[in-house]
Structure 1
Amino acid sequence: MDGADVGADVATAGRVLAALGLVTAFGHVSARDDGHLLITPAAPLAGVGDGDLIRVPLDATTLPPGAPGESWLHLSVYARRPDVHAIARGQPPAAFAAAAATRSLRPLHGQACWAGRAIPVHDDARLLRDRALADAAADTLGEHAALLLRGNGAAATAEHPGLAVTRLWLLSAACQAWLSATASGPVRSLTDTEIDAWQAVERDLLPRLWYHLRETSETNEGGPT
């Protein structure tokens, strides 16, 4: 991935998340940074810059002013998952419907495998604005790459903020595909062998998809700056 400037990467990812329509007035992107997380503020993401980011200690017991209330989810996931370096949190419209209709979403198309072999649904629609609720959601996430939150959107993890946004976009597409397929009758999920084959090329192709989403957002919106 490009760049070593964590703040710039988080801000760019936030603006792309907004341009993709995966957030409204609510949603956030974060990344680990030297014993802290850098997270987008409790504000619309379309105009966020790296100077607007909030720095939160990973061992925080209270949130600093300006931090989203659901920063607790980010803190809980980072505490459990040393492999996770970035998180994107949004409200893809299709996620609300899919999470109300299933307890686990299995991919129906190849690229959806890059969001995970199966996406668990956290069966609690309350906002994750305290440590206990956030811990419960992080437990549901477990070792998965992404999470559907019944009545409350979705979250995705990755090694880089852009890849977390890309996974959230893939999760949105996976939800849309699942809803369309189930409306037509029984669905045929990908087999374990097929999922393995797609996940084998994820490291090469997921960054390529992020670059596409970023460039498309810049072209359509006048450019995340």
Structure 2
Amino acid sequence: MTTVGETSSATGAATALVEAAHVLAGLGLVTAFGHVSVRHGDSVLVTPPKELDLVGTDELIDIPLAADTLPAGAPPEAWGHLAVYRARPDVAAVARAQPEAVLAAGAVTERITPLHGQAAWLGASIPVHDDARLLRSAERAERAAHTLGASDALVLRGNGALTAGATPGLAVTRMWLLDAACRMHLAAHGAGPVTTLSPEEVAAWRAAAPPLLERLWAHLRRIAGTA
């Protein structure tokens, strides 16, 4: 059994990565597409281009962090993962998915501001990257990572989302939170005037985040059937 903290060894990193991939699929946040990765030393382990609930530890692909080409079998959008790791030394895991609410929200706004406390665990606000093309080149991926900035989630207009974390479980937890935040954004903005969280409220929620994110990850593992 893994928790969000168990990525200290190569085996632990691979096990945590595969479980996170299975949870992401179990939550219905991906279909035939999507991937999860984890930073390990000077390289990155990433899931192959296949349905995430079918991925095993023996299928993970190792990519040097400084790579200028992708190895055979790597998902072409692995460039997005590499760009985030290179731009953000604090990030150790990335999830990539296409929740429907995220696609809808990305079509109607340029930035999503938290409407409830848990959304603040994604950042003070969630940027929308205004380029619907797949991140299949280092240049496009670098532009997306620049849009991400210091946030822990990025909506890719017409192309889903990227979420970041200290472990694969935390990255997947943030993808679930992003889906919820986008659903609330769509519902609230369709209902009338909106009150967002203040900077002080965002800061308070982010300060409380670490143990609560662990608790939420444990819940997601259980409902996805991997616990």
TM-score category (smaller protein): over 0.9
Is 1:121 the counterpart of 2:128 in the alignment?
Answer: yes
Fraction of identical pairs, as percent:
53
Instruction: Tell me, yes or no, if the aligned pair for 2:113 and 2:125 is still in contact at 8 Å.
Output: yes
The residue aligned with 1:39 is 46
Distance 1:40 1:109 in 2: 32
Superposition deviation, residue 204 in structure 1: 1.5
Match of 1:66 in 2: 73
> d(CA) in 1 for partners of 2:104 and 2:5?
35
Alpha-carbon separation, structure 2, partners of 1:97 and 1:165 = 20
Which of 184, 188, 198 aligns to 2:195? It is 188
Equivalent residue in structure 2 for 1:99, among 101, 106, 120: 106
- Within a 5 Å distance, the mapping from 1:167-182 to structure 2 comes to 167-182=174-189
Query: Does 1:150 find its partner at 2:150?
Result: no
Which residue is equivalent to 2:19? Answer: 12
Runs of 4+ in 1 over 4 A off after TM superposition: none
1:88 aligned partner: 95
Aligned to 1:132: 139
Match of 2:117 among 103, 110, 114: 110
CA RMSD of aligned residues (A): 1.0
Could you tell me which amino acid in structure 2 is paired with residue 39 of structure 1?
V
**Contact conserved, 2:121 with 2:205, CA < 8 A, in 1?**
yes
**Cα offset for 1:152?**
0.2
- CA shift at 1:130, angstroms? 0.5
Match of residue 30 from structure 1? 37
Which blocks of at least 5 consecutive residues in structure 2 are unaligned? none
The answer as to whether partners of 2:65 and 2:82 remain within 8 angstroms in 1 is yes
Deviation at 1:2, TM superposition (A): 4.3
Question: What is the CA distance between 1:31 and its match in structure 2?
Answer: 0.5
Say yes or no: does 1:200 pair with 2:207: yes
Deviations 1:165-184 (A, max 9, x none): 00010000000001011111
Structure 1 gap ranges (5+): none
Q: Distance in 2 between matches of 1:169 and 1:18?
A: 11
Deviation (angstroms), 1:62: 1.0
Q: How many pairs does the alignment contain?
A: 220
Mapped partners of 1:2, 1:160: distance in 2: 7
The TM-score with structure 2 as length reference comes to: 0.95
* TM-score normalized by the length of structure 1: 0.95
